[in-house]
Amino acid sequence: MKLTKITLVTILLLTFTKYSYSQAELSEYVISAYEEDDWVYFGSNTFLYLDKEEGEGNPRVLSLRIDPSDSHAMLYLYEYDCENQRMMMIAYKTYQNKPVMEKENYLFEHKLKWQYPLKTSLGDNMMGAVCDKF
């Protein structure tokens, strides 16, 4: 049921929301290849992983951002505070074809900061999907 909700949210996002950036959009072939590996495409060359990191408390979920101009990809780990509608980047690294974030890539405590995404933004849409699923 939850997977159906995420799929529905993804379809609605792709249908009703278009973000314009100077870089090209990923091809359908690239998108489908990542979706076969349990990533959900959110537009703007950004994917969200279907599983959360192990642990208690707020859900921590990986996101992947690909720059199609040079095939460079960055992997991010965000913590989502659904009750307070905020998110925080916990870690980041260059993507190496595995949805794994090692502890060595975590940010120092003084660098962590809660962000409040604007309504209808990509971050807000991703937070809504994570909060619906977890």
Residue 50: give its domain's CATH number.
Answer: 2.40.128
HSE-CB for 33 with a 13 A CA cutoff: 6
Enter the tokens of residue 5.
């909700």
Split at pLDDT 50, 70, 90, the class of 90 is: very high
Split at pLDDT 50, 70, 90, the class of 3 is: low
Structural domain for 20, as ranges:
2-133
For residue 124, the model assigns a pLDDT of 95
Number of domains in the chain: 1
User: pLDDT tens-digit profile of 8-45?
Assistant: 556 655 654 444 444 478 999 999 999 999 999 999 99
- CB-CB contact of 113 with 107 (8 Å): no
* CA nearest neighbour of 123 among 87, 83, 76, 81: 87
* CA nearest neighbour of 26 among 63, 76, 67, 58: 67
